[in-house]
Amino acid sequence: MKASGDAAAIGSGIDSSAAGAQGWNPVRVDRVLEDLDTISLGGVTMQAHLTPGHTKGCTAWTLTVEENGKSYSVVFVGGTAINRGVNLLNNKRHPGIVEDYARTFQVLKEIEADVFLAQHPSMYGMDEKLEQLRGGATGNPFIDPEGYRRFLEEEEGNYLKQLEEERSASR
């Protein structure tokens, strides 16, 4: 599956997402990634996982890190929330949004992550985890596979709730 859903928007500065947000200064797109492509930078290789819905080209990233001789899988989650005011049903700006969100949650649930990070620190409890580290926590609080699973359950639950509310309202 191609991950090019946002390339035209990034290159033109015109939002094509379901939100219809304000535009931005366009940026030249050097490379359009496809699902499961990898990029390497500074000795780190990350793999792209197309997770559309929030935007058509939303992408999560995975990599492996080591700490104290042990390997951990890390996921950087892209957008999973539905932007305020966006309808899932009959969405003219993103006709496949329902299926795209369903795919996103399927992909994210298949990723077994020890550490998860996201674009908003509150999504993975960064402040609380940093406070635990400052307080001398034993172990690394960022190693949180259960927190990742809870996050996905909550986000998918929000999606399913909105979808059901929209379906009920259209009956």
Q: Residue type for 139, please? A: G
Could you tell me the CATH superfamily of domain 34-169? Ribonuclease Z/Hydroxyacylglutathione hydrolase-like (3.60.15.10)
Reported as a single tens digit per residue, the pLDDT across 62-97 is: 999 998 899 999 999 999 999 999 999 999 999 999
Given a cut of 80, is residue 2 above it in pLDDT? Answer: no
Handedness of CA 109, 111, 115, 119 (dihedral sign): negative
pLDDT at 164: 98
Local structure of residue 2 (DSSP, 8 states): B
Please give the model's pTM, rounded to 2 decimal places. 0.91
Are residues 60 and 78 in contact, defined by beta-carbon separation less than 8 angstroms?
Answer: yes
Mean pLDDT of 146-158: 97
The phi-psi region of residue 27 (left if phi > 0; otherwise alpha if psi is between -120 and 50; otherwise beta) is beta
Q: Containing H/E element for 133?
A: helix 126-134
Percent of the chain scored above 90 by pLDDT? 83
Structural domain spans, the chain = 34-169
Given a cut of 80, is residue 106 above it in pLDDT? Answer: yes
pLDDT at 4: 58
pLDDT at 62: 98
Looking at the chain, how many residues does it have?
171
Given a cut of 90, is residue 1 above it in pLDDT? Answer: no
Reported as a single tens digit per residue, the pLDDT across 21-53 is: 888 899 999 999 999 999 999 999 999 999 999
Q: What is the mean pLDDT of the chain?
A: 93
